[in-house]
Amino acid sequence: EKADAFCGTLVLNSGFVTLSVAEGVEILHGDSLVTEMKLADDHSENTSRLQQGDLAWYIVKRGERYGIRLRDHKHPRIDELEHIPSYPIQTSYVVEATLEPFDSPKTITVATPLEGFTESYECPGILNFRINGKKLTLHPFTSGSGYFLVIADETSGLDTYGAGRFMYATPDSTGRIILDFNKAYNPPCAFSPFATCPMPPRENFLPAAIEAGEKSVHFD
């Protein structure tokens, strides 16, 4: 066993989770032993990350629901994953996009692998671009000073992960937006059934085969 059978208690009260560690159990926050601590969830800039031996964990908040995100840094699957396959880098998949802004940002709600649970994101407008001469559009989600993109295309479920891929794009100092599909990567749910990844909204199913970025991961 990698952890004590009983590590302590977690109490949720008024939106805050407090950990009380059981006697004789050693849980670290950084280099400090924890006995009792109010935990900042993953929406905080300073998420409380705890560790016990090879295991690390923190509190995740999804809507009004809370959970524990547990990581095993010595899990056998880490050694099984020798590499993540990807397409050869192609400059034809590095394209300039223009944002057609909405009068005011819209909210887009997407499904997740967690049954009955959705996530909502702010969408500032529509990105217009061309790949190999074909006009395409994406609905980006606001992420800091840039955009978070959850996309699917005609390779999804074939060469690439069936539930789509993630990308980021940040305008440069002149406002120019470059979409580099060579940087499209697998979401966490491609590696674990316990992840709560956002699925692509219907607006982001591209009617084209985006043969760039990461491909599906297969474990032995």
CA 126 to chain centre: 21
Locate the domains of the chain by residue range: 8-74, 91-204
DSSP element (H, E) containing 150: strand 146-151
User: Any idea what DSSP says for residue 77?
Assistant: H
Give CA separation, 205 vs 75, 139, 141, 150, 165, in Å: 34, 10, 15, 9, 11
Burial of residue 182 (CB within 10 Å: 0-12, 13-18, 19+) is: buried
pLDDT of residue 96: 98
- Residue-wise pLDDT for 68-87, tens only, equals 999 998 888 788 788 899 99
Give CA separation, 120 vs 4, 32, 63, 105, 115, in Å: 37, 36, 9, 12, 15
Mean pLDDT of the chain: 93
Quickly state the pLDDT bin for 220 (edges 50, 70, 90): low
- Residue-wise pLDDT for 82-97, tens only, equals 889 999 999 999 999 9
pTM higher than 0.85:
no
